[in-house]
Amino acid sequence: MTLRHVVAWKMAAPDAATRAAQAQEIATRLNALVGVVPTIGALTAGANMVKGNWDVALVADFADKAALDAYAVHPEHQKVVAYVRSVVADRVAVDFEL
């Protein structure tokens, strides 16, 4: 079984330039986790390039729920989480089996 983890965030900043810069920073930090967090099967994050409701998104694959759970608590991921929480207004996520 492969578990796909999809997350999107809305930034809290009122101005578009700040939202775009923070969204790009989130994507950069998330993409840097590849090769650092061993349970990541595949991961891609990116800032929104077209007008939309959400500013940045993540798509990541894990072998199973245990691998996703290990990612969630990994210290390097937790550093990213701390930054994300400091700049976002809203989050939506879904996990499904491939």
What confidence tens digit (pLDDT) does each residue in 16-63 have? 999 999 999 999 999 999 999 999 999 999 999 988 789 999 999 999
Q: Residues 27, 72: contact at Cβ < 8 Å? A: no
Q: How far apart are CA 15 and CA 3, in angstroms?
A: 35
**pLDDT category of residue 73 using cuts at 50, 70 and 90:** very high
Q: What per-residue confidence (pLDDT) applies to 1?
A: 87
User: In the predicted model, is pLDDT for residue 91 greater than 90?
Assistant: yes
Give the residue from 5, 2, 52, 48 showing the smallest Cα distance to 27: 48
Domains of the chain listed by start with CATH number: 3-93 (3.30.70.100)
Q: Residues 68, 77: contact at Cβ < 8 Å? A: no
Share of the chain above pLDDT 70, in %: 100
Residue identified by tokens 């923070």 is: 22
